[in-house]
Amino acid sequence: MMFERSRILVVEDEPTSLRRLAEILRHQYELIIATNSADALKLLSEKPDLVLLDLYLGDTNGFEVLNHIQDDAELQDIPVLCVTGSTDTKDIEEAFRNGAVDYITKPYNAIILQSKVNTFLDLSRKTALLKTQALTDSLTGLSNRRQFDLQLQQQWQRMVAEGGAISALMIDLDDFKGVNDYFGHPVGDATIQFVASTIAQCADQFADLVFRMGGDEFLVLLPGIAFAEAQALGETIRTQVASTSLEVLPKTDEKGGLRITGIDITVSVGVASVVAVEDVAPTLLVERADAELYNAKEAGRNCVRPLS
């Protein structure tokens, strides 16, 4: 298996130091080189995994680059290892205050440099993985309830600013307890996975905004989408789930014969659409979609509510 090499942005203006750095690091990492702060700011858009930053650049000082990284939400998780020519603690303290994770002094010591780079790359990889896992449902790979809470706030604020409706589909499997009871939990799990991927496929262009809310309940958040279009998507999802028969291993009946090779699954869908305004709580959208899902269940399941 091939592992992608981590990319390090090296910001260093001294040719001798740069050569030494490259000598130590180039076999293990992909290096992106900037010899001044302007280039460094540009190259940050390539999202390096770590930045090795000389604090004393010729044109201006490295603190400018450090501050830029800390002020940008998209960059601030990138670990910055500062390089200083001396052990002047004032500058080192200032670098830590501005978000550096550690420092190294020149001339470079290969073992110290490699160890620090490895440690912070490893830590940053693990932190990113934890962050993703905390927001992902492990059974389906969809975003989870925690991510939904964050996204609802963000998307609501975006629609308040842009002015527009935000719609939601609340989707729940029908009579799912029966599937677990009859076929067992593993088949129930596979059924949830099937419904999750069907919803994700149908709502492809909103893929980031499909959530497993818990159990057999899913939600699709549709910012900027009006009611009629949301309702049509709900109907597409309902039809798609209903028209697929899930294959399961043959099950032995009471008389020892083999029966049942497919499960017919259906879902009920509640649709809601709300114009996002500042003084309304975004949870109103969820409450309405939930109430409509209840209506769909009451109306006999395998349907979308409201009708129109």
Q: Which residues bind Mg ion (CB under 5 A)?
A: 172-173, 176, 216
Q: Is position 270 an interface residue for ligand GH3 (rule: CB under 6 A)?
A: no
Sequence-ordered alpha helix ranges (H) in the chain: 15-25, 37-43, 63-71, 89-97, 110-134, 145-162, 176-183, 185-202, 227-242, 283-298
- The one of Mg ion, ligand GH3, none whose footprint includes residue 301, by CB under 5 to 8 A per kind, is ligand GH3
How far is residue 63's CA from residue 36's CA, in Å, rounded to a whole number?
Answer: 12
Take residue 235 and report the two structure tokens written for it. 């109907």
Residue 302 Cβ vs Mg ion, minimum distance, rounded to whole Å: 12
Q: Which helix (H) or strand (E) holds 5?
A: none
Residues 117-156 that bind ligand GH3 (CB under 6 A): 139
Task: Please choose, out of 36-44, 113-121, 185-193, 274-282, the segment that lies near ligand GH3 by the rule CB under 6 A.
Answer: 185-193
Using only C-alpha atoms, the chain has a radius of gyration, in whole angstroms, of 27
Binding status of residue 290 toward ligand GH3 by CB under 6 A: no
Smallest gap from Cβ 269 to Mg ion, in A, equals: 12
Q: How far is the CB of 195 from Mg ion (least distance, A)?
A: 10
Could you give the angle at which helices 176-183 and 185-202 cross, rounded to 10 degrees? Answer: 140
Q: Is 185 in the site for ligand GH3 (CB under 6 A)?
A: yes
Please choose which of ligand GH3, Mg ion, none residue 192 contacts, taking the beta carbon within 5 to 8 angstroms, the exact cut-off set by kind.
ligand GH3
CB 128 within 8 A of CB 245: no
Of 57, 66, 192, 289, the one binding ligand GH3 by CB under 6 A: 192
213-219-224-227 Cα dihedral, nearest 10 degrees: -140
Site residues, ligand GH3 (CB under 6 A): 139, 172-177, 180, 185, 188-189, 192, 215-216, 297, 301
